[in-house]
Amino acid sequence: MNNIVEFKGVTKHLKDFSIKDINLQIKQGYVTGFIGANGAGKSTTMKLMMNLLKADEGDINVFGMDYASNEKEIKERMGFVYDSNVFYESLNLKDIRRIVAPAYKNWDDKQFYDYIKKFELPLNKGIKTFSKGMQMKASLAIALSHEAEFIMMDEPTAGLDPVFRRELLDILQEIMKDGRRTLFFSTHITSDLERIADYITFIQKGKILFTDSMEDVQDRYALVKGNMDVINRDIEKMFIKIERSSYGFTALTNDVAGIKAVLGNRVSMEPATLEDIMFYAKGAERQYV
Amino acid sequence: MFNLIKKDFFIQKTQIGLLVPIIMIFAIFIENIHPAFIFLIASVFIPLNAYIFDQQSKSNILLNSLPYTRKEIVAARYIGAIVYMILSIALAGVILYVFQFDYTMSDVAIAAGLFCLIAAFAFPLFYFLKAEYIFIAAFIGFIVSTIILPPVFRFLAAHLTTITDFITSLSIATLYLSGAAIAIGLYLISWVVSQLIYQRKVF
């Protein structure tokens, strides 16, 4: 299985934030969801991927090439959707097409107008009159009109109403069908990912905690509930974080098999959602994985 | 790169429409104005406006996400500015001619030289400044230049010949040539500086 994006030991220090020694692989042909709390480093990572920021240390490869010598070729094959509008606000889609289309060798006008029709976007209205959802669709239409093999989306579902969000997810599912594209998208609405993601990359405080397939995440992680009396120092080590209350405890583990072997029926287990993982990992005292 | 230069036209189509009436107003209603000043205003208009447009929105993110290198983006800015300067001066020349406003080729040359000087200082400064300060800087720059430049022009127009008389060893032609060389030299240095600043810029 090929990696379309590879980060090796990437470090970037910004004024009040840094990401350290990031290793990241994005698998070709799949949807990878990128989760983490606000300020965990999602946007910084994506900007590094787009060469909007340059790494202080480490290597970033996209399509097996580096930006220093192949910047244009990489960007030809990449599509982008940002969390806010990056197009000239006073222009309409027709004018934006005039600016963007000639930049790409593979631009397909027919494809563009097909998507505009499909997404029901007006061609002659200024982008500033577009709703958040329409802006998102416009970015997506542009990304899809130049045959982008890798589409990077920064918080595409943030600020969309539920109906629109589901519609967008359906569109994403559809564009992934032919298996030629790779999608990487960040979100903090984890339920979106449970629907469409094949892989999950979790970032916290500027560090990647894990990249795993959705099934692996579901197999390894669980919420464990039980009485306080089952907990001792060794058992405690098997948990990422324990929440104690007068009724007992709830804890997150990434070692379902281990817990089953040691505690068996003395505790109850339920599948952990991505949100549970995010929540418990945030309060974890120790770094795990 | 040509696409990036064309882009400056698309993003300010409506504002460019204003250029013609502005020049006409200068030509018809304001009598004591030096023609070089009209040419200068006309030539600064499009490049500066394009610049402000680009810095206000998140277009730096857009342009850098498209298949362009940072080098090309800066190069398009500098080459585009010259292209639009030439077109604007030609336009102004035609309008002034139509309205029988007298001017000479030396007015055009002075305006072009001053344009290069202004751009040479303004562009790197703007690349260096944060987007939110650019409008303020441009506004102050504009006010200051409208107050200071006309007397400077009048002074130059009145004394240029005396100055040249002073430097007897220089002919008018050499003077203009050396002026042009200085303006072009500064413009090229400015290009290199802008490129260095832009390479390091964080979006």
Q: Could you report the per-residue pLDDT of A48-79, keeping only the tens digit for each?
A: 999 999 999 999 999 999 998 999 999 999 99
Mark whether A97 and A62 lie in a shared domain: yes
Over residues B174-193, the pLDDT tens digits come to 778 888 888 999 999 999 99
Q: Measured between alpha carbons, how far is A47 from A203 in angstroms, rounded to an integer?
A: 15
Nearest one of A149, A148, A154, A150 to A135, comparing CA atoms? A154
CB within 8 Å: A86 and B68: no
Mark whether A73 and A129 lie in a shared domain: yes
Beta-ladder partners of A183:
A31, A151
In a domain, A288, yes or no: no
Can you tell me whether residue B137 is helix, strand or coil?
Answer: helix
Closest-CA residue of B relative to A72 is B67
Q: Measured between alpha carbons, how far is A263 from A277 in angstroms, rounded to an integer?
A: 21
Mark whether A127 and A245 lie in a shared domain: no
Q: What pLDDT shows up at residue A193?
A: 85
Mark whether A16 and A43 lie in a shared domain: yes
Q: What pLDDT shows up at residue A76?
A: 93
Is residue B108 a contact partner of residue B40, using CB atoms and an 8 Å limit?
no
> What does DSSP say about strands A239-245 and A248-253: parallel, antiparallel, or unpaired?
antiparallel
Q: How far is CA B136 from CA A68, A90, B16, B139, B147, in A?
A: 35, 21, 21, 5, 17
Which tokens go with A162? 């539920």
Q: What pLDDT shows up at residue A247?
A: 86
In a domain, A174, yes or no: yes
Closest-CA residue of A relative to B4 is A99
Instruction: Quote the mean pLDDT of chain A.
Output: 88
Q: Measured between alpha carbons, how far is B153 from B31 in angstroms, rounded to an integer?
A: 15
In a domain, A16, yes or no: yes
Nearest one of A252, A243, A250 to A281, comparing CA atoms? A252
Domain of A250, in residue numbers: 221-282
Q: How far is CA A162 from CA A23, A157, A158, A174, A192, in A?
A: 33, 9, 10, 18, 10
**pLDDT over threshold 90, residue B99:** no
CATH number of the structural domain spanning residue A82: 3.40.50.300
Mark whether A138 and A204 lie in a shared domain: yes
Instruction: Tell whether A161 is within 8 A of chain B (Cβ).
Output: no
Q: Which residues of B have a CB under 8 Å from any CB of A?
A: 3, 6-7, 10-11, 13, 53, 57-59, 61-62, 64-69, 202-203
Taking one residue from A and the other from B, the number of pairs with CB-CB distance under 8 angstroms is 66
Between helix B105-128 and helix B35-56 the angle, nearest 10°, is 20
**Chain B residue numbers touching A100 (CB-CB < 8 A):** 66
> What backbone phi and psi angles, to 5 degrees, belong to B187?
-60, -40
Closest-CA residue of B relative to A56 is B200
Chain-centre distance for alpha carbon B178: 19
Q: Measured between alpha carbons, how far is A66 from A79 in angstroms, rounded to an integer?
A: 17
CB contact residues (below 8 A), chain A span 68-87, against chain B? 71-73, 75-76, 78, 80, 82, 84-87
> What backbone phi and psi angles, to 5 degrees, belong to A18?
-145, 155
**Chain B residue numbers touching A51 (CB-CB < 8 A):** 64
Mark whether A119 and A231 lie in a shared domain: no
Instruction: Tell whether A50 is within 8 A of chain B (Cβ).
Output: yes
Q: Domain end: A216, A231, A252, which one?
A: A216
Mark whether A95 and A181 lie in a shared domain: yes
Average pLDDT over residues A77-96: 89
Over residues A134-188, the pLDDT tens digits come to 888 899 899 989 989 999 999 888 878 888 888 888 888 888 988 889 999 998 7
Q: Domain end: A168, A196, A216, which one?
A: A216
Mark whether A268 and A159 lie in a shared domain: no
Q: Measured between alpha carbons, how far is B65 from A141 in angstroms, rounded to an integer?
A: 15
Between helix B13-29 and helix B2-11 the angle, nearest 10°, is 70
Element housing A280 (H / E):
helix A274-282
User: B3-27 in b/e burial notation, b at 16+ Cβ within 10 A?
Assistant: bbbbbbbbbbeeebeebeeebbebb
Closest-CA residue of B relative to A128 is B57
Between helix B2-11 and helix B70-98 the angle, nearest 10°, is 60
The closest CB to that of B61, out of A52, A102, A103, belongs to A52
- Residue in B14, B52, B65 to test binding to A, most A beta-carbons within 10 Å: B65
**pLDDT over threshold 60, residue A123:** yes
Q: What pLDDT shows up at residue A183?
A: 94
CB within 8 Å: A86 and B58: yes
Mark whether A200 and A126 lie in a shared domain: yes
Q: What pLDDT shows up at residue B162?
A: 65
**pLDDT over threshold 80, residue B166:** no
CB within 8 Å: B59 and A75: no
Q: What pLDDT shows up at residue B36?
A: 84
**Chain B residue numbers touching A73 (CB-CB < 8 A):** 67
Give the total number of structural domains in chain A: 2
- Chain A: nearest CA to B3, how far in angstroms? 7
Nearest one of A210, A261, A278 to A23, comparing CA atoms? A210
Mark whether A85 and A177 lie in a shared domain: yes
**pLDDT over threshold 50, residue A289:** no
- Chain A: nearest CA to B52, how far in angstroms? 12
Mark whether A12 and A87 lie in a shared domain: yes
**pLDDT over threshold 60, residue A23:** yes
Largest CA distance in chain B: 55
Which tokens go with A45? 């990572």
Q: Domain end: A191, A216, A241, which one?
A: A216
pTM summary value: 0.82
Mark whether A74 and A143 lie in a shared domain: yes
**Chain A residue numbers touching B7 (CB-CB < 8 A):** 99
Between helix B105-128 and helix B70-98 the angle, nearest 10°, is 150
**Chain B residue numbers touching A99 (CB-CB < 8 A):** 3, 6-7, 10-11
Complex ipTM: 0.84
Count of alpha carbons within 13 angstroms of residue A230, beta-carbon side: 23
- Where do the domains of chain B lie? 2-200
